Structure 1
Amino acid sequence: MSGEIDLKKLIAAMTPVLAETEYVFGTLETNSYEKLAQLEPIGTFQEKEGLTVIVKKEKAEEFNIIHSGRFKCITLAVHSSLDAVGLTAAVATKLTQANISANVIAAYYHDHIFIASQDAEKALACLNELVLQEQ
């Protein structure tokens, strides 16, 4: 099932949804895969320096995972194609104008934007404003 590729349609229908859960980006040694099931990560990425995990803040603290920052996730509920051009740039531009840092992850169905917890509500308002501009 392929997603939407038209940028105007994507923005108009992106329906940003803010999760209440706080997440952290942590790191594990490359050979620490046995911890993954217990950590219940919502995302991982193997890097040269180690395994990056995105986990609930409480899980990171429970397992003494090296991490930094606290983030909330805004999911763009529109099903965007991995071939779509410009959605990440449009979102990043809007958030940059409000001086909000964004860590964007494109998954198969949706884009997920991790925002510092203290900026999450402001970011959600910015993204909803972007939607209204395209409707």
Structure 2
Amino acid sequence: MDERNFVFCSFPTIDWKIMYELNPIGIFHEKEGVTFILEQQDAVNKKIHYQSVYRLITLNVHSSLDAVGLTAAFSAKLAEKNISANVVTAYYHDHIFVPEEKAEQALNAILELQKRYST
């Protein structure tokens, strides 16, 4: 689990200067605007609006973008514990943003899942 807190922020259009200054760890273009995933402190420092604070759990397994079932398995396990998950699948790993206040509980749930499949 990453030590930092993260937030999701939306901008009507992409501003490359702001993007460079903020150095988001994730960007996604939607028809309504551009989402930046930022460290919470950067958003606070720049007075950027956000709604919720998340912690990041990165699965250390190298997962294929074509794999079937991994996202469903950890999503189901987190749902079982009433924990929302915002998943970003990158080239090498899956990254799960969970509510800050449930981060330890989410990590424990994923570790339970890992134990079940590694034995």
Q: Name the TM-score, length of structure 2 as normaliser.
A: 0.96
* Higher RCO (CA < 8 A, seq sep 6+): 1
Residue 62 (structure 1) aligned to one of 45, 65, 83: 45
Gaps spanning 5+ residues in structure 2: where? none
Match in the other structure for 1:127: 110
Match in the other structure for 2:57: 74
Letter of the 2:97 counterpart: F
Match in the other structure for 2:8: 25
CA RMSD after TM alignment? 0.8
Match in the other structure for 2:87: 104
Letter of the 1:42 counterpart: I
Gaps spanning 5+ residues in structure 1: where? 1-17
Q: Name the TM-score, length of structure 1 as normaliser.
A: 0.85
Structure 1 runs (4+) greater than 6 angstroms displaced: none
Shift of 1:33: 2.4
DSSP-derived class of the 1:38 partner: helix
Q: Distance between the aligned counterparts of 1:46 and 1:91, measured in 2? A: 25
8 Å contact from structure 1 (residues 100, 119) kept in 2: yes
Shift of 1:72: 0.3
8 Å contact from structure 1 (residues 79, 110) kept in 2: yes
State the percentage of identical aligned residues. Answer: 47
Residue 101 (structure 2) aligned to one of 112, 118, 127: 118
